[in-house]
Amino acid sequence: MNEMRPIRAKSGTNQEGASAHNRRVMIDALRLNGQLSRADLARATALTKQAVSNIIEELEGDGLVASLAVVRKGRGQPSTPYRLVPEGAFAIGLQIDRHVTRTIAVDLVGTVLARGEVNLPAGGPERGTEIILSLIDRTRRELVRVAPQSRDRLVGLGVAMPGPFGIDTDPDDPWMMALWQRFPLSETLASGTGLDVRLQNDAAAAATAEKMVGAAHGFEQAICIYLGYGLGAGLILDGELYRGANGNAGEIGMILTRPRGGTEDQRAPLEHRASIASLCKILELDPADPDLYRHLDDMAAASDGRVADWIADAAYELRGAVQILETTFDPQTIVLCGGMPPGLARRLIDAIHPLLPSIAERRMRSAPRLQLGLTNPWAVAIGAAAEPISRTFDPRFSAILKTRTPGPS
């Protein structure tokens, strides 16, 4: 007998009315494992061979899956492997941050085909949306140039920006993007692009990128702490991104803390002490400077005393946050990622260790409690681009229940 290789896949359902879910299951299995035969797919997804055959024929007809050369192994029946067609679907991801906006266009398997970046002017969305729509248009034209099929196979626009959404905030608070959060952004972008638009917070998008191509790949239970201009966490629970009732799950930057030895009246949001914005304030750097990453990397490498003090304070705060997240969610691992230079990220994660005792401290661990993830400034845009494809093709229980997970609008 031929040895059965392990295949990573979610289970389908043979109940009636679940064809949308099963299509997503098949797409996800092929994305995770590469080429698979019909027998492989049936075994991994718990679908009947007839159900797999029917779905494969549908996916081939839709241009999402293609067959490869027949494989003959030993005395067994020859099998035909199938793979995803990269040109089967395309999506655009948009990141909006305090001072910059980025776009990325990807195909069905996540290959980046086009990207763009511009600084955002002051004044909020009234001025910024025009610049964003122009950037999206340039990205779409570049995508069509390199992949003409995308003209008819663009499944949507995923948007990521800092939260929280739907709460009352001071419009003059430099830590918040109150004007953007109150603006009908999804509707404006949908009207201006003609695309289906969904909005999520930047930490959730970063977690999606980690799940696709980063340190959270292969984990069903993982938390990604995203340290950018602000601070947040993306929660991957049971293999899916948990958003919360209003799309604000994981807003750990809003947790009130006080400095070491501080008094009760010194309490402030966690991100005021552990974020790129807090570091820029200490170093008197302009967060809108296009060379900010280089300046931060140089100062970290030069062992600037102010950087060392910030690392010590941020590590103290994050050490406690890790322990709370482990105790609350019992993840397989926690990933520290974000828009910070790699050198600074490594110094910070080293300073967070040793971790505080928690329920995650077990002898038989197969993954570290805390590990470093992507420090790519484009990771949020990549995660945002994955959302339209994920929504269209990935398996979710909501596909069977015919419900939509509540989220920001």
Answer with the one of 33, 57, 84 that is the final residue of a domain: 84
Residues 170 and 242 placed together within one structural domain of the fold: no
Report how far residue 131's alpha carbon sits from residue 127's, in angstroms, rounded to the nearest whole number: 7
Task: For residue 52, give the CATH number of its domain.
Answer: 1.10.10.10
Give 162-189 pLDDT, tens digit per residue: 988 877 776 666 667 888 888 999 999 9
Q: What is the dihedral of CA 8, 10, 12, 17, to 10 degrees?
A: -140
Report the pLDDT averaged over residues 305-311.
95
Per-residue pLDDT, 399 = 38
Per-residue pLDDT, 212 = 81
pLDDT, mean over the chain: 87
Residues 145 and 127 placed together within one structural domain of the fold: yes
Query: 7 is written with which tokens?
Result: 């295949």
Q: How many helices (H) and strands (E) in the chain?
A: 13, 15
Please say if the pLDDT value at position 195 is more than 80: yes
Per-residue pLDDT, 140 = 97
Residues 352 and 239 placed together within one structural domain of the fold: yes
Please say if the pLDDT value at position 10 is more than 80: no
Please report whether residue 262 resides in a domain. Answer: yes
Report the pLDDT averaged over residues 329-338.
97
pTM of the prediction?
A: 0.84
Residues 144 and 262 placed together within one structural domain of the fold: no
Per-residue pLDDT, 247 = 87
Per-residue pLDDT, 328 = 96
Give 112-125 pLDDT, tens digit per residue: 999 999 999 888 89
Residues 346 and 266 placed together within one structural domain of the fold: yes
Contact indicator for 66, 82 with CB cutoff of 8 Å: yes
Task: For residue 362, give the CATH number of its domain.
Answer: 3.30.420.40
Give 132-159 pLDDT, tens digit per residue: 999 999 999 999 999 999 999 999 999 9
Residues 125 and 68 placed together within one structural domain of the fold: no
Per-residue pLDDT, 289 = 87
Contact indicator for 72, 37 with CB cutoff of 8 Å: no
Residues 260 and 221 placed together within one structural domain of the fold: yes
Give 358-398 pLDDT, tens digit per residue: 999 988 899 999 999 999 889 999 999 988 887 776 554 33
Domain containing 277 equals 217-375
Report the pLDDT averaged over residues 59-69.
89
